[in-house]
Amino acid sequence: MLKLYDYVLSGSAYKARLMMAILGAPYEAVPVDFYPGNEHRQPDFLDLNPAGTLPVLVDGDLVLTDSAAILTYLAGKHDPPGTWLPAGDPARLAQVVQWLAFSQSLTATAGAARLHDMINRPLDVEAARAGAHRAFRELERHLTAQAFDGNAFLVADQPTIADIACFPYVALSPDGGIAHDDYPAIRGWLDAVKRLPGFIEMPGIHALHEVRETEPGVVAMAAEAG
């Protein structure tokens, strides 16, 4: 059974949880007290991941300590031959890898600003927010071009692990003072990810809801996904 070292408020750990939910992969969660416990900086955890970061995925003897590696493994293992990881198409695969690299810049900017605002992590938060907006402008340009071609996701015409890698820190960015107002294509893409079958929430990221009239005058909220 897969084992995920997890923290409920971690956007990086959520990437793994979301991918496993979408792929229907069963796993055991091992909660790590990131805050306030700092358990990820204690010797036992550092033995597992010397970088002291979450998430970590363990499958037998295999220990993966990076979310991009984890997504790659999950898609390869649970979705062969694979639309989530288009291994048979070199151009698509390379584009996926490019967006996986881009996702790290989201963690370093939007993710860092969120840590600053949520747990007072010392940081030049204005520089982090400016970096996030630079990344968001690049993402917005790309998603606008994709939408023009009728594509809702980052690479070609299918959702891939690139979408899962980039989604959390964009969706969570208002927690770090980075609004989505100027990014309509990004907002459309966030909704497209939320519509994926198997989508799950985390604190700060809510499923889409549609407002329905169940009987005249009675309005009910129904979850579209999750």
Ligand X SMILES: N[C@@H](CCC(=O)N[C@@H](CS)C(=O)NCC(=O)O)C(=O)O
Binding site for ligand X (CB under 6 A): 10-12, 40, 52-54, 66-67, 107
- Distance in Å, CB of 107 to ligand X, minimum: 5
- Distance in Å, CB of 203 to ligand X, minimum: 13
- Distance in Å, CB of 172 to ligand X, minimum: 10
- Distance in Å, CB of 216 to ligand X, minimum: 47
194 phi and psi, to 5 degrees?
-65, -20
Residues 107, 170: contact at Cβ < 8 Å?
no
Beta strands in the chain (DSSP E): 2-6, 27-31, 56-59, 62-64, 209-215, 218-223
CB nearer to ligand X: give 66 or 201.
66
62 phi and psi, to 5 degrees?
-85, 125
Interhelix angle 184-194/161-171, rounded to 10 degrees, is: 120
31 phi and psi, to 5 degrees?
-70, 135
CB nearer to ligand X: give 40 or 92.
40
CB nearer to ligand X: give 2 or 146.
2
- Distance in Å, CB of 138 to ligand X, minimum: 19
CB nearer to ligand X: give 40 or 194.
40
- Distance in Å, CB of 184 to ligand X, minimum: 27
Q: Which of 170, 222, 216 lies closest to 193, judged by CA?
A: 170
CB nearer to ligand X: give 115 or 146.
115
Give me the amino acid identity at 41.
R
**C-alpha to C-alpha distance for 54 and 148, rounded to whole angstroms:** 36
CB nearer to ligand X: give 107 or 109.
107
- Distance in Å, CB of 110 to ligand X, minimum: 11
CB nearer to ligand X: give 53 or 109.
53
Give 100-163 as a 3 state SS string. HHHHHHHHHHHHHHHHHHHHCCCCCHHHHHHHHHHHHHHHHHHHHHHHHCCCCCCECCECCHHH
